[in-house]
Amino acid sequence: MYGAEVARRLWRECRRDVVTLDLPPIDTLANIAVAQTAVIDAAAQGRLALRDALALSTMIEHRRRAIETLDLEADLRELGEKVNQRQTPRSWR
């Protein structure tokens, strides 16, 4: 009997209501700020459990890092091309 009670409590803990948030596409840094604000607002209003808000916010943060890394890569590539152009003797151009 004790095992059934533990299982029932765990099941209630694991089962959560689905919350729908109106988030923009997570494809720009500006949209990421909007999405993070929506998650924080939903948690503050009690529409989203803090654990779920943290999980969603973490996913958005990982996407931000990926976008930022791609932007940095493009910037480095552009700088590298400019350096290579300056180092190329004029007679080779």
Q: Which of 4-8, 25-29, 34-38, 73-77 has the lowest mean pLDDT?
A: 4-8
Question: Which two tokens mark 61?
Answer: 């943060």
Helix residue ranges per DSSP H, 1-93: 2-14, 29-44, 50-87
Closest CA to 47 of 18, 26, 13, 10: 18
pLDDT in tens, 13-67: 665 667 789 999 999 999 999 999 999 999 999 999 999 999 999 999 999 999 9
Pick the closest to residue 50 from 8, 58, 65 (CA basis). 58
pLDDT band at 72 (very low <50, low <70, confident <90, very high): very high
What's at 15, amino acid-wise?
R
Q: Do 60 and 26 meet the contact criterion of CB atoms below 8 Å apart?
A: yes
pTM attached to this predicted model: 0.70
